[in-house]
Amino acid sequence: MEKKEEKLNNLRHTLAHLLASAVGEIYKFDKIKLTLGPAIENGFYYDIDFGEEKISDSALQKIEDRMRKILPKWTDWQHKEISKEEALAFFKNEYKAELINEISDRGEKITTYTCGGFTDLCRGGHLEHPAQEIDPLSFKLDRVAGAYWRGDEKNKMLTRIYGLAFETKKELEAYLTQREEAEKRDHKKLGKELDLFVFSELVGSGLPLWTPKGTILRNLLDDYIWELRKKLDYMKVEIPHITKKELYEKSGHWDKFKNELFRITTREGHEFAMKPMNCPHHIQIFDRKQWSYKELPQRYANSTTCYRDEQTGELSGLSRVRAFTQDDAHVFCRMIQVKKELGEIWDKVVEPFYKSFGFNLKLRLSLHDPAHPEKYLGDAKSWEHAESVLRELAQERKTEFFEGVGEAAFYGPKLDFMATDSLGRQWQVATIQLDMNQPERFDLTCVNEKGEKERIVMIHAAIMGSIDRFLSILIEHVAGNFPLWLAPVQVKVIPVRTSHNEYAKKVFEMLKENNVRAEFDDAEENLGTKVRDAKNNKIPYWIVVGDKEIEADKVTLESRDKGQLGQISKEEILSKLLEEIKNKK
């Protein structure tokens, strides 16, 4: 297995060389500057400075053809170790020079590899005989993209050419098929087809508008979270969406995130901001009075919209927006209560919620990066303490977890839950954060057993994170086939002929009266059209009423997932549906 992976990596790395060579031949080696090109997941890329030349997708076919043309000449490699001076003289390109100097500074050897007459700076890791070992149909150039030199936006933007590569043509095709499948269930596409949300150019980019059907989904999900939280004695609170600048100056957000704040200047010249998060507001609610330790924890829940001025190029469907609704909650408690609180949120809210959709959860312990203390509030000691509490909790569980250095929030470490969806993709979803810094800044206390003021801590806990983003993940996870309890339309009642309308209407009314979200399709269309329509809309169940049904005083029930379920009495259908809804199946 490991060997196979190494071989695949070498294949992809070799193809990066071949790509660079082909590009050099077409665009002339002295007109362009090659930089670097590694193997990546599913393929490889090469970053190239094309100078004045503009490269677009249309050039890919030509380059790909050239790669295939020169591949037979790539029979074997010549490997050479050279001095720094030789290397600098040979490559004559500032990007390579930067790399050469770094290699030399690290005291490593500078090596070049040559194949088919093309020499590149490289530490090795290729297929030994490319011409024999590479199936010319197992790779494909994918797309052109911009990429900053060394990933730093202050640097020049290079042209990155991405390629896909596998050991066989069949594997490449399988990958492309899988990608097409993923595209079919893209939430942006399904959101339109299933009529869940829209964007308006007039409203602005990154600002989703939710349709009646989409709103049903949002509300049901939010209700579900509340149902779980209610058992843990949370209380709902409500806050305004704008606030004075001073609140964020005190919380520390103004300084760290002023570029991402939507700002408003009042007619009297005061500066306000749209809220980018809710903690400072909730802190003000907590801080309204003096608390006894007996009254803690105070647990405030609030699903509310936050606003962040993201760069336009980052926006994407519902995954990254400028206005998103957080299912937010803050727990104000004593340090000694933290572990129990965290454990309960984990066990009684996060786990059951994600499990019910069939997501597998992995935990990331998100820690601060000691190399960049300027990114965080508070001192090293309190960070270490907070992190040790979270680590302890994670270790006590059987859940698989890994540590993410530098992934912490600026005010504290986090437990970030990663969900794996039905296509095997990982998404960050729930986040539980321990915060010792904002209570410090706002001087939050309770009166303890000794009658002294004791500093408290706060826990931030968003389960879906953002309802919008969670829905984008859920839509793709279930491919638009929402479970019955969540489906905007749960049942469609279809009369075969208009003469069956009356009986069908009664069935529909019965469902409606029992709070089943039913739709009555009395359009003068044929049965096939109506069934097709139900399937296209991914409605979980539909009921067909015709002569046979009326005669038997039963109706035919069909399921999106299980097919024909035969003739059943109205009462049986109702109890079956209600049961399934109740169990969130």
Contact footprint for RNA (CB under 7 A): 54-58, 143-148, 151-153, 157, 159-160, 162, 186, 188, 192, 199, 201, 204-206, 253, 257, 260-261, 276-277, 308, 310-317, 320, 409-410, 431, 433, 496-499, 524-529, 531-532, 535-536, 544, 546-549, 556, 558, 564
Cα–Cα separations (whole angstroms), residue 369 to 74, 273, 415, 447, 466:
45, 29, 15, 34, 25
Q: Which is nearer to RNA, 29 or 410 (CB)?
A: 410
User: Smaller CB distance to RNA: residue 15 or 127?
Assistant: 15
- Whole-angstrom CA distances from 13 to 36, 137, 163 are 11, 16, 11
Cβ count within 10 A of residue 236: 12
Going through 41-156 in order, the beta strands assigned E by DSSP cover 43-49, 77-82, 110-115, 118-121, 139-148
Selecting among 322, 414, 492, 530, the annotated active-site residue is: 414
Nearer to RNA, 127 or 457 (CB): 457
> Is 68 marked active-site?
no
Residue 57: alpha-carbon gap to chain centroid: 27
**Smallest distance, Å, CB 517 to RNA?**
20
- Minimum distance from residue 359 beta carbon to RNA (Å): 19
- Give helix 2-27 / helix 60-70 axis angle, nearest 10°: 110
Report in angstroms how near the CB of residue 207 gets to RNA at its nearest.
Answer: 8
Angle at 403 between CA 332 and CA 151, to 5 degrees: 110
CA distance 133 to 14: 11
Q: Shortest approach of RNA to residue 572 CB, angstroms?
A: 17
DSSP string, 18-36: HHHHHHHHHH-TTTSEEEE
Share of the chain residues as helix, strand and coil, in percent rounded to the nearest 5: 40, 25, 30
Strand-strand pairing, 401-405 and 426-435: unpaired
- The residue annotated as part of the active site, out of 126, 218, 299, 330, is 330
User: Mapped to the 3 state alphabet, what secondary structure does 198-226 carry?
Assistant: ECCCCCCCCCCEECHHHHHHHHHHHHHHH
Q: What are the angstrom distances between the C-alpha of 426 and each of 96, 317, 400, 497?
A: 35, 17, 14, 48
Interatomic CA distance for residues 511 and 576, integer angstroms: 12
* Least distance CB 84 / RNA (angstroms): 27
Q: How far apart are CA 145 and CA 54, in angstroms?
A: 12
From CA 32, how far away is CA 249, in angstroms rounded? 48
135 counts as catalytic = no
Q: Is 287 a catalytic residue?
A: no
Q: What is the 3-state secondary structure (H, E, C) of 482-507?
A: CCCCCCCCCEEEEECCHHHHHHHHHH
Token reading at 446: 């309770």
**Out of 115, 122, 279, 446, which one is annotated catalytic?**
279
> Of residues 126, 281, 322, 460, which has the active-site annotation?
460
Q: Which of 298, 326, 438, 490 is catalytic?
A: 326
Active site residue 306: no
The encoded tokens of residue 357 equal 């959709």
Residue 446 appears among annotated catalytic residues: no
**Distance (Å, rounded) from C-alpha 385 to C-alpha 387?**
5
Residue 570 appears among annotated catalytic residues: no
Cα 367 from Cα 384, distance rounded (Å): 9
Q: How far is the CB of 204 from RNA (least distance, A)?
A: 5
CB atoms within 10 A of CB 105: 9
Task: Name the minimum Å distance from CB 499 to RNA.
Answer: 5
Nearest C-alpha neighbor of 555 from the set 537, 539, 541: 541
How far apart are CB 440 and RNA at their closest, in Å? 16
Smallest gap from Cβ 53 to RNA, in A, equals 9
* Residue 445 DSSP code: E
Q: How far is CA 439 from CA 237, 287, 459, 518, 527, in A?
A: 19, 10, 10, 49, 63
Question: Minimum CB separation from RNA for residue 408, in Å?
Answer: 8
Selecting among 47, 120, 327, 328, the annotated active-site residue is 328
Q: How far is the CB of 247 from RNA (least distance, A)?
A: 12
* Length of the chain in terms of residues written: 585
Of 126 and 460, CB closest to RNA = 460
Q: Which is nearer to RNA, 88 or 531 (CB)?
A: 531
> How many CA atoms are closer than 13 Å to the CA of 125, on its beta-carbon side?
15
User: Does the active-site annotation cover 385?
Assistant: no
Q: For RNA, give the closer residue by CB, 134 or 494.
A: 494
Catalytic residues: 279, 308, 326, 328, 330, 414, 460
